[in-house]
Amino acid sequence: MINIKTIIKNVFLFLSILFFWLLGGLLFKIDFSFYKELNLPFFTLNPKLIGIIWFIIYILISLSILKVSKTTNVLKNKDYLYILLTNYISNQLFLYFFFNLKSPFLGFCITTIIFASSIILLKETKKISIKAYYLLLPYIIYNTYALILMTSVYFMNF
Cα gap 80→121, rounded to integer Å: 7
Ranges of each domain in the chain = 4-156
pLDDT tier at 2 (50, 70, 90 boundaries)?
confident
- The answer to whether residues 94 and 107 touch, using CB atoms and an 8 Å cutoff, is yes
Helix (H) or strand (E) holding 106: helix 104-128
pLDDT tens digits for range 70-83? 999 999 999 999 99
Residues in the chain: 158
Helix and strand numbers (H, E) in the chain are 6, 0
pTM over 0.75: yes
